[in-house]
Amino acid sequence: MTNVGRTKPGDRIFRPRRIRGFRLRRVLGIPALFSAGYGNVGSSIYYALGIVALIALGATPVVLAIAGLLFIFNALTYAEGTAMLPEAGGSSSFARHGFNNTTGFIAGWALMLSYIVTMAISAYTIPPYLSHFWPVLKEPAAGTALSMGIILFLMVLNVLGIRESSRINIGFIVLDLGTQITLVILGVLLILVVNPTVLVQNMFGEGNWPSPENLIFGIAIAALCFTGVETVSQLAEETRQPQRRVPVAYILMIVTVLVLFAGISIVALSAMTPQVLGDPVNGWARDPVAGIAANLPSATLQNIFAPLVAVLAASILLTATNAGLMGISRLAFSMSSHRQLPATLSRIHPRFRTPYMSIILFCLIALVLLIPGFFSASFFADLGALYVFGSLLSFALAQSAILALRVRKPDLPRPFKLGGNIRIKGRELPLITILAFIGTVTVWVVVIVIQAYSRWVGLGWMAFGLIIYLLYRWRQRAKTRLPESEPAKPAK
């Protein structure tokens, strides 16, 4: 789920940022915030459900419910932090205020990894949905080639500064919500009512329940479905009355996402076995919602919903891919303005007025991540785990920063203050945030212990970033002797 022009599917009201010094225009309301947040989180159901089923099998609804509880805690924590510090940067901004520039960089760099993987995984799941019209796109090589072409197309588009139609975007969100609600209702009426035992069999039948290790890992991977809470926070600096509207947008997003995700996961396991749902080669792991449409117990309904889901999913995932790219642009600008990244990454093209250096660089990294797709479809789960690695690390730092601000700056105005506080040494600490931090760190540790790909790639990414950051800061202090808190001027 954040950008320099438009970030998430459906956010029609979102307008491009205007750089005047370091101030952004406050133009967004609750509908824009909700559509941006839901567009980010909601798009994940089109691929995350398949990744979760690949690991958790019949326990998919269970692990999604557990991860959903963590999502609630995390979203409410972000609501307090964003209302308190309504500026671009999200977790990077929280960590910078709560601790220091270095911690802010670590949070931002981890978040940047999640944006890059958002681009890769969203683009990678577009071809399977379009395979309804062109079956060859189900093949790993053809699908990966098209995914790379999509990223290159968006790279050029964003360098030129061309933005998608906002009316089309809001239309996609409305159509997406309507389609998902309809699929849930039809699934309940036509699948569960006709054969009420099918869900129980597909969840608890022989061979359908995962091993204890996979159950734990499934909970960790299920966090992939709920990691878009950063989006709303990133838009706070462009929101009217953010102290009031940001919390409302978060609460609306929590209710909508949890209800729809629960319904979709239950209907999916009612329509097909978990093995078919989670098969990345011959099943529906990469296009799980298409699997629901294809397994409706009526040929007429299949003919209606199969092409509709294919077009809608491809459109939502395309804008989600673009959202990741735009999120990187916004984040790179925010971090470079606080001397956490070289100003080169926020360099604005003299003609197109876009941050072309960061756009090109991070698109190339996303292309590298997609290379294994030519050889194996199983790396799909690796991408999901890598996304969880970056997102949860940035979330944990954001949560610890909110707790630190309660201790260090207890008198800071908090328009939205979490209740259920516990007192420690005279300071009020929100229990929700403490639980969110413990859960987030636990899930993150599970991912890096069990999943070797995300462990080495993720830790390597963080180590590389820290080296670049330390060298950059050393050179800046040696050249200018500016105090650490003084912002750098953006590159022209």
Give the pLDDT score at 441. 94
Among the listed residues 301, 293, 303, 374, the one whose alpha carbon sits nearest the alpha carbon of residue 127? 374
> pLDDT tens for residues 410-443?
888 999 888 888 988 888 999 999 999 999 999 9
Give the pLDDT score at 377. 67
Low-confidence residues of the chain, pLDDT below 50? Answer: 1-22, 164-168, 482, 484-488, 490-492
Give the pLDDT score at 186. 80
Q: How far apart are CA 265 and CA 31, in angstroms?
A: 26
Is residue 388 a contact partner of residue 48, using CB atoms and an 8 Å limit?
no
Q: How far apart are CA 83 and CA 351, in angstroms?
A: 36
Q: How far apart are CA 268 and CA 262, in angstroms?
A: 10
Q: How far apart are CA 332 and CA 350, in angstroms?
A: 18
Give the pLDDT score at 467. 93
Looking at the whole model, is its pTM more than 0.75? Answer: yes
Give the pLDDT score at 44. 84
Q: How far apart are CA 159 and CA 97, in angstroms?
A: 32
Which domains does the chain carry? 30-480 (1.20.1740.10)
> pLDDT tens for residues 4-36?
334 433 333 333 343 344 455 565 677 777 777
Give the pLDDT score at 348. 74
Q: Could you tell me the sign of the dihedral formed by the alpha carbons of 446, 452, 456, 462, in that order? A: negative
Q: How far apart are CA 459 and CA 466, in angstroms?
A: 11
**Residue at 385: amino acid letter:** A
DSSP bridge partners of 423:
428
In order of 95, 340, 343, 484, the CA distances from 476 in angstroms are 21, 11, 11, 10
